[in-house]
């Protein structure tokens, strides 16, 4: 089994600890009025990753999609300098995104809004198997998203294209659940298209802290991802840790993934913010341990589960 990084394919056992959802290069301003939603400094990213390495981090899944300042050549430079594996994404945000915190996100590119499902599939497939549109590097995961309350026609089109691509290439799909909602609807859509459960990573679930909901999602066999640590204004880490530890005690360790989605310079120590990319493995997992999660269970969710979620079989490599 291999992992497709911006510097080439590597064996799945080379990842070390993995943050499954991050942004290293991001450009959301002026589409949004929040200037902190810009990450455009290679030197700052390298500094953050040096600290990430100090606490055992080895791999970043960088999920910035089209239309949000994705720059895979910059990711290559960062990976080479920091000596951290980076997995880049193809994909789109949805066009129905919105929340009380961020009322609107950038619209997907016009070409994508007008494109057919087949056209989007061909772009995704090309970026995985040949090279990204804007780089000689290949991407290793597909990012899809839904907004609040309903899946729009555009979002459904992208999900169907992602499903077809995943089946053809063997890469996984990572999802954005706005405020942790529509997870079951996302899963049904992808599974109805034939995507295996273990190729579906459902993200931002900790923004909807509901154990009953998590147990419904768990029954589908997909990966449950918790990725908004260190920001108590959304959900306090105390609640997040309690919910994750409960899932582990119920025997679902093999379905849990972690990230920290530090997609703002206000969260990066290298920009003068906090808590930084070191927080996930330097602080958060220690809090999990303090809740009774064993070292073996922490290793499972940070080092053993990610390769299973991200790997491509040798038979599907192109």
Residue 103: pLDDT above 50?
no
Parse the chain into domains and list their residue ranges: 2-316
Give the β-pairing of 141-146 and 172-177. Answer: parallel
Question: How many Cβ atoms from other residues are within 10 Å of residue 313's Cβ?
Answer: 9
What pLDDT is stored for residue 149 in this prediction?
A: 84
Average pLDDT over residues 275-302: 98
What pLDDT is stored for residue 313 in this prediction?
A: 74
Q: Tell me the pLDDT tens digit for each residue of 245-283.
A: 999 999 999 999 999 999 999 999 999 999 999 999 999
CATH: 3.90.550.10, 3.30.70.3270, 3.40.50.1220, 3.20.20.140. Which one for 2-316? 3.20.20.140
Structure tokens at 245: 């530890």
- What sections of the chain are H helices per DSSP? 42-54, 72-82, 110-114, 117-129, 153-169, 183-192, 211-218, 237-249, 279, 285-290, 295-299, 305-310
Q: Tell me the pLDDT tens digit for each residue of 175-199.
A: 999 889 999 999 999 999 999 999 9
Average pLDDT over residues 218-232: 96
Residue 316: pLDDT above 70?
no
Structure tokens at 141: 């995961």
DSSP labels, 115-158: S-HHHHHHHHHHHHHT--TTSSSPP-EEEEEE-SSS--HHHHHH
**Taking Cα atoms as reference points, which of 172, 252, 170 lies closest to residue 211?**
252
Q: Tell me the pLDDT tens digit for each residue of 125-149.
A: 999 999 999 999 999 999 999 988 8
């Amino acid at each position: 089994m291999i992992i497709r990084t911006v510097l080439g394919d590597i064996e799945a056992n080379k990842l070390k600890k993995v943050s499954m959802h991050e942004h290293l290069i991001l450009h959301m301003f002026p589409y949004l009025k929040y200037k902190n939603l810009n990450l455009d400094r290679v030197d700052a990213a390298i500094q953050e990753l040096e600290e990430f390495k100090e606490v055992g981090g080895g791999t970043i899944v960088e999920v910035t999609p089209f239309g949000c300042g994705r720059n895979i050549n910059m990711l290559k430079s960062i990976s080479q300098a920091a000596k951290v594996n980076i997995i880049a994404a193809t994909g789109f945000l949805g066009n129905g995104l919105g929340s009380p915190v961020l009322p609107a996100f950038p619209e997907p590119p016009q070409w994508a809004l007008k494109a057919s499902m087949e056209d989007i599939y061909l772009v995704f497939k090309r970026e995985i198997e040949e090279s990204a549109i804007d780089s000689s590097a290949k991407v290793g995961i597909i990012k899809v998203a839904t907004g609040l309350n309903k899946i729009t026609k555009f979002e459904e089109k992208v999900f169907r294209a992602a499903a077809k691509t995943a089946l053809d290439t063997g890469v996984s799909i990572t999802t954005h659940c706005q405020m942790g909602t529509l997870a079951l609807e996302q899963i049904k859509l992808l599974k109805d298209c034939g995507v295996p459960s273990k190729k579906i990573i459902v993200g931002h679930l900790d923004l909807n802290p509901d154990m009953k909901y998590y147990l419904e999602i768990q029954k589908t066999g997909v990966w449950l991802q918790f990725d908004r640590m260190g920001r108590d204004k959304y959900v306090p880490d105390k609640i997040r840790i309690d919910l994750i530890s409960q899932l582990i005690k119920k025997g679902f360790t093999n379905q849990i993934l972690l990230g920290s989605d530090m997609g703002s310079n206000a969260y990066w120590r290298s920009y003068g913010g906090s808590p930084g990319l070191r927080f996930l493995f330097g602080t958060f997992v220690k809090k999990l341990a303090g809740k009774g999660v064993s070292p073996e269970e922490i290793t499972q969710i940070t080092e053993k589960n990610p390769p299973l979620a991200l790997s491509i079989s040798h038979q599907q490599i192109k």
